[in-house]
Amino acid sequence: MSNPTPTLHTTTANDPVTGVARQVGFFTDTSVCIGCKACEVACKQWNQLPDDGFSLTAKSFDNTIDLSATTWRHVGFIERDEPVSGQETNLGDPFSWLFIADSCKHCEDAGCLDNCPTGALVRTEYDTVYVQPDICNGCGTCVVSCPFGVIDKHPTDGRAWKCTMCYDRLKDDETPACAQACPTEAIAFGELSELRERADVRLAELHDRGVAEARLYGAHDDDLPGTRGLHAFYLLLDSPDVYSLPTNPVAPQKTVNEGWRSMAGALGAMAAGVAVAMLSGRRAR
């Protein structure tokens, strides 16, 4: 990987007016995504990421397939045998395309960050999750700790890589490359609170137009309690699983207490079983 490693700030990026720490993010509106992949290209160009090859995958018109160590923004193509509400295709049979410009979610409760043993993953002054490649030792703990399957180890250098939300551009008060390149503004970047308001307005607008299947994914903290909200959230036109998104993602640290309780219950049952066996043995004598 040859992409530059920006230096992390040690101070908090406060809003100049309110003085409150900034929380920035992405709102991806799949209802206006046209599948052009401009965001993919811009991400690769800015971050100096290699191409993923040009072979046909036989999966629609998508040749990148998924997020990886070298693809930090991926546009998925979904073909359905049903239209979006109110849509007329003039194709005879019902049909619709769904697109999603997917990326790291920069979770509030981030499994990758909380389970990293070296401190390579940190939360920046913009409240985004960032991998410090000079500290990453390639252990892969973060990879198995991400409920979205986002973070990935590079096959050559073995380190973990993912979307940085263009941290180097944020330092210069610039929009991340993917959002800057999007021709339909399907990827909106900005203050998280403003994006959430925008998402709520857009959802209400679609519902008023009869698109009842429209829904938000991860926009608010109580939407996905297992990750306590996403800093890169979506408006979808079908259920999350259609977009290959988990319906109830849970960061591993959320299940630790449950795991300990289960283990304690199992040990208790085992101890009770041993005690009963010992008593039965004594009586038999």
| Binding residue numbers for [4Fe-4S] cluster | 33, 36, 39, 43, 104, 107, 112, 116, 136, 139, 142, 146, 163, 166, 178, 182
The DSSP symbol for 183 reads: T
Report how far residue 83's alpha carbon sits from residue 238's, in angstroms, rounded to the nearest whole number. Answer: 11
Q: In degrees to the nearest 10, what's the CA dihedral of 234, 235, 238, 244?
A: -10
Structural tokens at position 110: 């981030």
Annotated binding-site members: 33, 36, 39, 43, 104, 107, 112, 116, 136, 139, 142, 146, 163, 166, 178, 182
Query: Of 174, 168, 161, which Cα lies nearest the Cα of 4?
Result: 168
Q: What angle do CA 111, 192, 235 make, to 5 degrees?
A: 80
Distance between CA atoms of 23 and 13, rounded to whole angstroms? 9
**74 forms bridges with which residues in the sheet?**
102
- Per DSSP, 21 falls in state B
Q: Is the dihedral of CA 121, 15, 191, 23 positive or negative?
A: positive
